[in-house]
Amino acid sequence: MKFLLSWRAYFASLLVLTWLVALACGQPADSSMPPEEAAKALPEESVEPLTFEAARDAAFELEGKGGDDEEIHDAFSAVHSMRPEAYGVNVKLGQVCVRLGLLEESVAAFARAWAVRPEDMETLRALVTQLVEVGDLERARDLLQELKVHPQQVGNALFLEARMLGMSEREEQHAQAVLLLEEALALPPEEAVETLVVLGRWMLERGLFEESRQALLAALVAEPGDTGVLKGLATACWRMGLDTEASRWQEILELMLGLRDNVFTREQKTESGAANQRFAIERSEYIRREIEAHESRLIRLIEIHPAWGEGFLELAQLQAEGAEPTKACATIEAYLKYHAAELSSEAGEALKSSYCR
Amino acid sequence: MTHAAGIDFRHTHGGRGKKYLFETMGSGVATTDFNGDGQSDILFLQSGTLPPDEFRENLLKRARHATGSSCKLYLNDGDWSFRDATSGSGLEEPFYGMGLAVGDVDSDGDRDVYVATYGNDRFYTNDGAARFTDATLASGIRDRRWTIGGAFFDADNDGDLDLYSLAFVDMPLSDNRYCGTPPDLRQYCHVDGWEGLDDRLWINDGRGVFENGSQAAGITGKNRRGLAIVGSDWDDDGDMDLFVANDSQANLVWRNEGDATFTDISGMSGADLNEHGKSEACMGSDMGDLDGDGDPDLYVANYEAETNTLYRNDGSGFFTDVSGSSGTGRPSRDSLGFGTVFVDIENDGNLDIYVANGHVMDNIEESGDGQSTYAQPDLLLMNDGHGRFVQAEGGVSEALHEPRVGRGLARADLDGDGDHDLVVSNSNQKPWVLRNDLGGGNSLAVRLLGPGGRADCEGAKVVVTAGDRTWVREVTAGGSYQSHSDSELIFGLADVTDVDSLSIRWPGGETSRHGPLKAGRRYVFQFGGELINETPLER
């Protein structure tokens, strides 16, 4: 039981933490009373540890079972009121608040959690994210600097910084956006992809078409099948008069749309059960109707956009299911030729052996 | 204010549990002056009836559809009083109405009506006193397909109105499929189960006789599911271009080449898909200058869980999705939008956006995620003047807090006080007739007569200048969903009392200049620019 503080010590630390949290949250802290003095005003008695633990465990269990978010929120709120500084409880409370759209409350919860574990960069990231969401950009900017010094968080920090760009309109933001783009381009694409997409769209809205194109081209390296990126690229190129390039992105985009479009996706239609209750087409009928068009779309796609590896695999599977093993094997061989560097040799061999028997 | 206005119309879709997809569509409404007394009247389309002479008896038996009443015409007697003038109007014939387009196709100074239906489309000519003659046969407009609505505009710049009609899907009455969970929870099928249809362009010979000019115009071969159309000269080259909103498919953007031919610039325009490169279930749309930069922007109402989309015009006919940064996206995410109009609610000089909401599935409460509802409050987005929007509080109007199943929507100054009022046709329910009491700013109303005696001047553009402020408005074609709004332009002027200048660019390119002018007045200009009437607004 050595990790358990005495109740008096517990409340003393609680007040210290509350003070820290108040600072972190920018809430009015009683600056006239240092935390150690304030601790003297603590009550002698509070919730029994076992009561707290039982409530905490029940809340975690409810969350683990995927319960209703309102109930999860109420459960963690109750536990939080018993022990306001409990780190894990605050993290969970912050997360459920995000899901419920209780943004101010999520900020407070993440701030309490981070005050307990200032080395926890994930919680700091969550805190800054919610500060951006509630529009408290000043506090978000301060904490971003802290986030940015941790190498694993550079990409996240850049993303948040890019998001903040769109939340206020100032002329100097154009220069800042260009600087951010340079930083993002220096990162591995997969770490910077969200930032690049946000920057690309931001620049597109403001007429920085070439910069937008650069950002989106870099994003496409990590996400070659992202229709939003393709749409942005087509738009930027049309605006710049790069009609040939624009037409290429537009064709890829439209082929992609033929494969998977809208909130009612093609995938849903091929499944049975609840998801396709509103679709009158059964899987067999759908495949019969669409298979030729689907195949020709994929063939054209991998021809003009071979960077999209998923297209090769989808085509090979379609060909194999359509009793065309030779074609399926050729498709896989083409995939391996183009995407060899992305696979281990074992994975490549396994793929080849399953399609080229 | 619906009851007080004397409006007793109630829409019916006629369904009795068989879940025919067309029951979900609702029907449109037109607000314009049909009897030439200078006041905007209201024409509600009705659905419900599948005419026995158009469908086979065994199919009608199977459909078990109720027989609905006809559409209703209410003439405006002033002082917010409307009189049911349906009887004897020639519009009593029941049909399964979808949408309408209104325009003076024979240039005789009154407004004629095209009706899109599930069945045979209709065309009615007006004798000037709101008495209509079924001229479908003589007009040459023959369409048995499922059409949704349309827009009258001058496609070939010859001075008369042509018609772009929107077609939906190829779903014969015999092809009603079962969707949902048998036996208890039958649902309306998703529209994706049926093939889309080509829209049509009907070319007018000047006398109200039309020929199908779709092939020559280059608009065939798309087979989309059109739900809304708006015409506007957004590239400012003197002819009307077209935006067609499609259901769960990429939108169509047609550039008018000025000679009744059109070029598909959907992808290049940027308005084919949203910023995520996805098509949306687009229902209603309108165009107008939302950000005060002088060119028309585009707003499209979409399905629930999709945000409505605001496309900003970058000045040369290129559109950029700015739904996120403009603040229009998030408030619309939890509702399913249909009718959409731009309207300056406060007369502060900034166009706001009104959207009629309502789900398509009447049992969504049982089959959905627990959050969705069939009836939904409407949405009003208030413009800060720079193209950024905030949602109006529910207390502003009963329609913003009392949920209904909104579909058709039109605007007009029904009480002549110089602000736009709204009419919403709600599916299987009573409509909303909403008097605007918030238009506190000064305003100026402009009505433009078209060439050759035409009642309206579709395609004209008006620029009003007062001090360092400039407002640009256009007589657009179509807009909203299934509906027609009066063509009078109302310029909200905030506290401006004197307008320095008003210039009108007429179809054909000529420009007339006027001014200075007083606010608080209604001006009527003959085609070419002669001021023929000036009256004070009834404030």
Q: What is the pLDDT of residues B134-176, one digit of tens each?
A: 999 999 999 999 999 999 999 999 999 999 999 999 999 999 9
Cα gap B389→B394, rounded to integer Å:
15
**B60-68 own/partner pairs: CB under 8 Å, 24+ apart:** B60/B173, B62/B18, B63/B18, B63/B20, B63/B173, B63/B176, B64/B16, B64/B17, B64/B18, B65/B14, B65/B15, B65/B16, B65/B18, B65/B20, B66/B12, B66/B14, B66/B15, B66/B16, B67/B14, B67/B94, B68/B12, B68/B14, B68/B94
Residues of A in contact with B331 (CB under 8 A): none
Count of A–B CB contacts within 8 Å?
A: 94
Q: What is the pLDDT of residue B161?
A: 98
Give mean pLDDT, residues B175-192.
84
Domain at A1-117: CATH code: 1.25.40
Q: Is A338 exposed, middle or buried (0-12, 13-18, 19+ CB in 10 A)?
A: middle
DSSP lists the bridge partners of residue B76 as B82
Residues of B in contact with A207 (CB under 8 A): 314
Name the residue facing A278 among B179, B274, B325 (closest C-beta). Answer: B179
Per the document, the length of chain B is: 539
Q: What is the pLDDT of residue B200?
A: 98
Q: What is the pLDDT of residue B29?
A: 98
Give mean pLDDT, residues B46-74.
90
DSSP lists the bridge partners of residue B162 as B153
Residues of B with CB under 8 A from a CB of A: 177-181, 187-190, 192-193, 248-250, 267-268, 270, 273-281, 303, 305-306, 312, 314, 318, 320, 322, 324-325, 367
Q: What is the pLDDT of residue B440?
A: 87
Q: Is there a contact between A205 and B318 if contact means CB atoms under 8 Å apart?
A: no
Alpha carbon of B248: minimum distance to chain A alpha carbons (Å): 6
Class of domain A118-231: mainly alpha
Closest residue of A to B364, CA-based?
A: A278
Cα gap B386→B394, rounded to integer Å:
23
Alpha carbon of B267: minimum distance to chain A alpha carbons (Å): 7
Test the B interface: residue of A278, A281, A285 with most B CBs within 10 Å: A278
Q: What is the pLDDT of residue B47?
A: 93
- Are the CB atoms for A214 and A195 separated by under 8 Å? no
pLDDT in tens, A306-353: 999 999 999 999 899 888 899 999 999 999 999 988 889 999 999 999
- Are the CB atoms for A231 and B266 separated by under 8 Å? no
**pLDDT exceeds cutoff 80 at A60:** yes
Q: What is the pLDDT of residue A46?
A: 65
Name the residue facing A277 among B179, B249, B305 (closest C-beta). Answer: B179
Q: Is there a contact between A253 and B267 if contact means CB atoms under 8 Å apart?
A: yes
A211: enclosing H helix or E strand: helix A209-222
pLDDT band at B39 (very low <50, low <70, confident <90, very high): very high
Q: What is the pLDDT of residue A44?
A: 37
Q: Is there a contact between A238 and B180 if contact means CB atoms under 8 Å apart?
A: no
Q: What angle do CA B170, B175, B177 make, to 5 degrees?
A: 115
Contacts with A194 (C-beta within 8 Å, 6 or more apart), sequence order: A155, A159
Residues of B in contact with A204 (CB under 8 A): 320
pLDDT in tens, B292-327: 999 999 999 999 889 999 999 988 889 999 998 899
Cα gap B514→A353, rounded to integer Å:
80
Q: What is the pLDDT of residue A285?
A: 59
Q: Is there a contact between B277 and A235 if contact means CB atoms under 8 Å apart?
A: no
Cα gap B207→B163, rounded to integer Å:
13
Q: Positive or negative, the Cα torsion across B187, B188, B190, B193?
A: positive
Residues of B in contact with A229 (CB under 8 A): 277
Q: What is the pLDDT of residue B491?
A: 98
Give mean pLDDT, residues B193-205.
94
Closest residue of A to B185, CA-based?
A: A277
Average pLDDT value for chain A: 81
pLDDT band at B38 (very low <50, low <70, confident <90, very high): very high
Give mean pLDDT, residues A90-105.
93
Q: What is the pLDDT of residue A37?
A: 38
Residues of A in contact with B275 (CB under 8 A): 201, 228, 231-232
The predicted model scores a pTM of 0.87
Q: Which ipTM did the prediction report?
A: 0.91
Residues of B in contact with A239 (CB under 8 A): 314, 318
Given the DSSP bridges, would you call strands B484-485 and B29-32 parallel, antiparallel or unpaired? parallel
CATH code 1.25.40 region(s) in chain A: 1-117, 118-231
Which tops the pLDDT comparison, B533 or A20? B533
Name the residue facing A228 among B187, B277, B279 (closest C-beta). Answer: B277
Contacts with B7 (C-beta within 8 Å, 6 or more apart), sequence order: B42, B74, B82, B430, B431, B433
DSSP lists the bridge partners of residue B409 as B424
Q: What is the pLDDT of residue A261?
A: 53
Give mean pLDDT, residues A208-229.
96
Q: What is the pLDDT of residue A323?
A: 82
Residues of B in contact with A246 (CB under 8 A): 268
Test the A interface: residue of B188, B273, B293, B304 with most A CBs within 10 Å: B273
Residues of B in contact with A279 (CB under 8 A): 179, 189-190, 192-193
Cα gap A266→B278, rounded to integer Å:
13
Residues of A in contact with B305 (CB under 8 A): 263
Q: What is the pLDDT of residue A34?
A: 36
Q: What is the pLDDT of residue A27?
A: 40
> How many CB atoms lie under 10 A from the CB of residue B173?
18
pLDDT band at B106 (very low <50, low <70, confident <90, very high): very high
**pLDDT exceeds cutoff 70 at A263:** no
Out of A274-278, B68-72, B281-285, the most confident range is: B281-285
Q: How far is CA B342 from the centre of its chain?
A: 10
**Given the structure tokens 């597109």, which residue do they identify?**
A204
Cα gap B149→B425, rounded to integer Å:
14
Q: What is the pLDDT of residue B257?
A: 95
Pick from A7-21, A135-149, A150-164: least confident = A7-21
Q: What is the pLDDT of residue B521?
A: 97
**pLDDT exceeds cutoff 60 at A7:** no
Closest residue of B to A167, CA-based?
A: B325
**pLDDT exceeds cutoff 70 at A29:** no
Q: Is there a contact between A263 and B268 if contact means CB atoms under 8 Å apart?
A: no
Cα gap A118→A125, rounded to integer Å:
11
Q: What is the pLDDT of residue A33?
A: 36
Q: What is the pLDDT of residue A8?
A: 37
Out of A215-219, A279-283, B52-56, B64-68, the most confident range is: A215-219
Q: What is the pLDDT of residue B419?
A: 97
For chain A, the straight-line distance linking the first and the last C-alpha, in angstroms and rounded, comes to 63
Name the residue facing B177 among A235, A254, A280 (closest C-beta). Answer: A280
**pLDDT exceeds cutoff 70 at B87:** yes
pLDDT band at A279 (very low <50, low <70, confident <90, very high): low
Which tops the pLDDT comparison, A284 or B235? B235
Pick from A207-221, B181-195, B324-338: least confident = B181-195
Region class of A50: left (phi > 0), else alpha (psi between -120 and 50), else beta: alpha
Q: Is there a contact between B248 and A227 if contact means CB atoms under 8 Å apart?
A: no
Closest residue of A to B325, CA-based?
A: A166
Question: CA dist A67 to A51, A74, B196, B354, Å?
Answer: 21, 11, 42, 37
Q: Is there a contact between A263 and B281 if contact means CB atoms under 8 Å apart?
A: yes
Give mean pLDDT, residues B23-29.
97
Q: What is the pLDDT of residue A35?
A: 35
Residues of A in contact with B274 (CB under 8 A): 231
Q: What is the pLDDT of residue A277?
A: 54
**pLDDT exceeds cutoff 60 at A195:** yes
**pLDDT exceeds cutoff 50 at A18:** no
Token pair, residue B86, equals 């349906």
Name the residue facing A231 among B273, B312, B322 (closest C-beta). Answer: B273
Q: What is the pLDDT of residue B321?
A: 95
Give mean pLDDT, residues B425-429.
97
Which tops the pLDDT comparison, A242 or A32? A242
Q: Is there a contact between B367 and A246 if contact means CB atoms under 8 Å apart?
A: no
Give the full edge-to-edge strand order of the sheet including B461-466: B469-474, B461-466, B501-505, B511-514
Q: What is the pLDDT of residue A80?
A: 94
Average pLDDT value for chain B: 94
Q: What is the pLDDT of residue A16?
A: 36
Which tops the pLDDT comparison, B476 or A273? B476
Give mean pLDDT, residues B255-265.
94
Q: Is there a contact between A280 and B179 if contact means CB atoms under 8 Å apart?
A: yes
**pLDDT exceeds cutoff 90 at A354:** yes
Test the B interface: residue of A209, A262, A264 with most B CBs within 10 Å: A262
| Local structure of B187: helix, strand or coil | strand
**pLDDT exceeds cutoff 90 at B178:** no
> How many CB atoms lie under 10 A from the CB of residue B85?
21
**pLDDT exceeds cutoff 50 at A87:** yes
Test the B interface: residue of A103, A133, A229, A263 with most B CBs within 10 Å: A263
Cα-only R_g, chain A:
27
